[in-house]
């Protein structure tokens, strides 16, 4: 038995030299020291067969062998762990001098930029922003705005119906009705949002954006609208910009006007942008028709108001020299990236 023990010791010493990774080390440990299956625990069992006199001495030798083997394995384990850790670190190393991927920074949509600019100008005049629904009923989009069925003004706005009773709003003016019905006068609201009309060419898109303004107070006159628009236009297009009111017609305002600004490209001399006229139309507006107030349960002998509607896409196009509205909506990042705050 003693010889065998010596042999085992030699085998372990030889075999451990060959071990170069933790898997092989684990297998070696299993082979020699694991309980029940290992060679050394098996020796312990065999001890029972030895003579009574030899047993204590042999037991000591086997135990010493076991302690020695355990220590040898532990040392080897440390060495292998170190080697493997180094290898892993090398493999996982990152090159901190490598240039990073360039992050693309997005920009706000040109229409959003115009909207934000207008909202901040109007906020300074005490307006609050409300957003009302895009799917409207006939009452809010037309009837309450003094545009009853069969009224010719309905033809101007080719409507997308979603059912017999509901449509995509053709303008932001139904927001006037919702405001009049829900807010106690006096008030000033701005209603920006998407609107829809069956119209599609270089300057019209079936979906576009408007911003409605509504002021309700006592003794409002056309002068109030004119004064406010003057401030707006100068802030938006520059101090030298002039405004011009032309009589117009909308069922929900009386009197109604269309407002032109002196061309901010040529200063009024006439150019391609203003089609040689020196003026550019930017909005429709007027004094709120008494019928509209009455339709909303607002006493028209006490309250008066003015309203206006701006085309946001149109202003975005004019300000950026875009001659086709679809450039705004085709989603071509190369085009949209050029619009900056």
Chain positions contacting ligand PHE, by CB under 6 A: 171, 173, 212, 250, 253, 284-286, 307-309
224 phi/psi in degrees, rounded to 5: -65, -45
Alpha carbons 82 and 88: distance in angstroms, whole number:
10
Q: How far is the CB of 293 from ligand PHE (least distance, A)?
A: 14
Residues in the chain: 341
Q: How far is the CB of 331 from ligand PHE (least distance, A)?
A: 25
Q: How far is the CB of 215 from ligand PHE (least distance, A)?
A: 11
Q: How far is CA 79 from CA 28, 45, 75, 91, in A?
A: 15, 32, 7, 19
Peptide bond into 335 cis (omega under 30): no
Nearer Cβ to ligand PHE (192/284): 284
Nearest to 293 by CA among 127, 180, 133: 180
Nearer Cβ to ligand PHE (173/243): 173
Q: How far is the CB of 243 from ligand PHE (least distance, A)?
A: 15
Q: How far is the CB of 137 from ligand PHE (least distance, A)?
A: 17
Supply 332's token pair: 């071509």
State the residue number with the nearest CB to ligand PHE: 309
Nearer Cβ to ligand PHE (78/156): 156
CA 113 from centroid of its chain's CA atoms: 15
CA 217 from centroid of its chain's CA atoms: 38
Q: How far is the CB of 97 from ligand PHE (least distance, A)?
A: 59
321 phi-psi bin (left φ>0, alpha ψ -120 to 50, beta other): left
Q: Which residues pair with 161 in a beta bridge?
A: 167
DSSP track, 256-285? EEEEEEE-TTTTTS--TTTTTSSEEEEEEE
Pair type for strands 135-137 and 243-250:
unpaired
Q: How far is the CB of 306 from ligand PHE (least distance, A)?
A: 8
Q: How far is the CB of 286 from ligand PHE (least distance, A)?
A: 5
Nearest to 186 by CA among 280, 18, 306, 266: 306
Q: Which residues pair with 210 in a beta bridge?
A: 193, 311
Nearest to 127 by CA among 249, 251, 203, 216: 216
85 phi/psi in degrees, rounded to 5: -65, -45
């Amino acid at each position: 038995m003693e010889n065998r023990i010596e042999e085992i010791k030699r085998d372990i010493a030889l075999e451990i030299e060959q071990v170069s990774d933790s898997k092989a080390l684990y297998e070696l440990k299993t082979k020699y020291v694991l309980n029940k299956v290992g060679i050394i625990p098996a020796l312990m069992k065999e001890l029972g067969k030895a003579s009574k006199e030899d047993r204590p001495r042999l037991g000591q030798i086997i135990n010493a062998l076991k302690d020695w083997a355990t220590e040898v394995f532990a040392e080897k384990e440390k060495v292998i762990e170190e080697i493997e850790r180094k290898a892993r670190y090398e493999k996982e190393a990152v090159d901190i001098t490598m240039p990073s991927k360039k992050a693309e920074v997005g920009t706000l949509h040109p229409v959003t930029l115009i909207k934000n600019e207008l909202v901040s100008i109007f906020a300074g005049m005490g307006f609050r922003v409300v957003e009302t629904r895009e799917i409207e009923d006939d009452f809010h989009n037309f009837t309450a705005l003094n545009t009853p069925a069969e009224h010719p003004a309905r033809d101007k706005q080719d409507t997308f119906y979603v059912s017999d009773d509901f449509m995509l709003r053709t303008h932001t003016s139904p927001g006037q009705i919702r405001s009049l019905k829900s807010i106690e006068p006096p008030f000033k609201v701005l209603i920006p949002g998407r609107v829809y009309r069956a119209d599609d060419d270089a300057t019209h898109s079936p979906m576009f954006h408007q911003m409605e303004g509504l002021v309700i107070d006592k003794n409002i006159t056309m002068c109030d609208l004119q004064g406010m628009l003057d401030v707006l236009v100068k802030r938006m297009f520059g101090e030298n910009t002039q405004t011009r009111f032309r009589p117009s017609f909308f069922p929900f305002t009386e009197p109604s006007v269309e407002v032109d600004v002196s061309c901010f490209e040529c200063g009024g001399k006439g150019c391609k942008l203003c089609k040689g006229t020196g003026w550019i139309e930017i909005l429709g507006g007027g004094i709120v028709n008494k019928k509209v107030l009455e339709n909303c349960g607002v006493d028209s002998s006490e309250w008066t108001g003015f309203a206006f509607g701006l085309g946001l896409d149109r202003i975005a196009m004019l300000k950026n020299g875009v001659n086709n509205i679809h450039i705004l909506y085709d989603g071509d990042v190369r085009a949209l990236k050029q619009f900056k705050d």
